[in-house]
């Protein structure tokens, strides 16, 4: 039974993404957004369960990528297109196609390229799906009507498309082991996070996802500043010795 658990959660991920597609076509944008967020939870569970039970396999990896393509590539693209970018006509659907294509390229690169377990190369596709779903949920809560035309949303889709295929590294958090965290502090942190999220779920989710997306460029910028500073210190030390 344990062997099939990761595959079951991957299938639930795929089902959620497929349901999000149907819901966005029917104009049920709130439901579609929730389905994408649910797919993210299933995606997290299938990977963690596979690692805990030692049931990682090439088949599971490929199946997971195909499910991710539906849930975090096609579903968010169609959601933001039907909700907003349809009003941009050709420019809108081309932006959504670019988004889906970049997710596919990012997943393909992940499957063939060996990377450290501590970071991802390029923005993880679930993060892109999360920020689109959170944005639609927030706009829905604010009473914004569908076909809401805003250049910020169009720019967001293009920016996410670039980040998917960029060489920017994002932390994977796979190295974090919950067992090493004291149970009391873990419970306190969970309650605090729950209370904050429950106050305004769409806004909190949008803020958290935005912070994660900005984390990659910030780390890259910080490392460049650090290299420049070290180079300056080394040059200053050499001149002092001479």
Domain that holds residue 211: 2-241
What's the confidence (pLDDT) of residue 146? 87
| Residue range 60-81: mean pLDDT, rounded | 94
Q: How far apart are CA 130 and CA 206, in angstroms?
A: 8
pLDDT in tens, 137-187: 999 989 888 888 889 999 999 999 999 999 999 988 765 555 556 666 667
| Residue range 32-50: mean pLDDT, rounded | 90
CATH number where 11 lies: 1.20.120
Q: DSSP of 78-140, one letter per residue?
A: HHHHHHTGGGGTHHHHHHHHHHHHHHHHHHHHHHHS---TTEEES--HHHHHHHHHHHHHHHH
What's the confidence (pLDDT) of residue 66? 94
Highest-scoring range by mean pLDDT, 29-43, 45-59, 171-185 = 29-43
Q: DSSP of 36-56, one letter per residue?
A: HHHHHHHHHHHHHHHHHHT--
Q: How far apart are CA 153 and CA 77, in angstroms?
A: 12
What's the confidence (pLDDT) of residue 36? 97
Specify the range with the lowest mean pLDDT, choosing from 70-74, 117-121, 129-133: 117-121
Q: What separation in angstroms does the CA of 15 have from each of 3, 12, 24, 36, 130?
A: 20, 5, 14, 10, 17
What's the confidence (pLDDT) of residue 212? 92
| Residue range 62-72: mean pLDDT, rounded | 94
pLDDT in tens, 9-21: 999 999 999 999 9
Residue in this structure with the two tokens 């919950």, named with its chain if needed: 178
Mean pLDDT score across all residues of the chain: 86
DSSP structure class, residue 142 = T
Contact 85, 33 (CB under 8 A): no
Specify the range with the lowest mean pLDDT, choosing from 5-9, 114-118, 179-183, 225-229: 179-183
Is the backbone of residue 54 left (phi > 0), alpha (psi -120 to 50) or beta?
left
pLDDT in tens, 177-225: 555 566 666 677 778 877 877 778 888 899 999 999 999 888 888 888 8
Q: What separation in angstroms does the CA of 207 have from each of 17, 79, 83, 193, 204?
A: 23, 20, 21, 13, 5
Number of structural domains the chain divides into: 1
Q: Is the pLDDT of residue 113 over 90?
A: no
């Amino acid at each position: 039974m344990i062997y099939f658990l990761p595959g079951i959660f991957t299938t639930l991920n795929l089902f959620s993404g497929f349901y999000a597609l149907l819901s966005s076509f029917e104009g049920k944008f709130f439901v579609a957004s929730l389905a994408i967020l649910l797919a993210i939870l299933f995606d997290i569970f299938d990977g963690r369960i596979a690692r805990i039970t030692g049931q990682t396999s090439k088949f599971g990896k490929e199946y997971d990528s195909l499910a991710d393509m539906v849930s975090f590539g096609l579903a968010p693209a169609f959601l933001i297109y039907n909700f907003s970018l349809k009003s941009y006509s050709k420019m809108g659907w081309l932006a959504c196609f670019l988004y889906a294509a970049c997710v596919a390229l990012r997943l393909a690169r992940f499957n063939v390229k060996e990377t450290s377990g501590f970071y991802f190369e390029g923005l993880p596709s679930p993060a892109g799906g999360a920020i689109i779903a959170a944005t639609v949920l927030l706009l829905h809560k604010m009473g914004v009507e569908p076909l809401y035309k805003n250049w910020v949303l169009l720019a967001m889709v293009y920016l996410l498309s670039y980040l998917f295929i960029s060489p920017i590294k994002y932390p994977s958090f796979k190295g974090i082991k919950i067992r090493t965290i004291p149970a009391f502090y873990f419970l306190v942190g969970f309650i605090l996070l729950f209370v904050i999220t429950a106050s305004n779920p769409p806004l909190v989710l949008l803020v958290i996802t935005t912070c994660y997306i900005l984390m990659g460029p910030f780390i890259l910028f910080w490392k460049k500043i650090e290299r420049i500073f070290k180079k300056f210190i080394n040059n200053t030390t050499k001149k002092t010795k001479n």
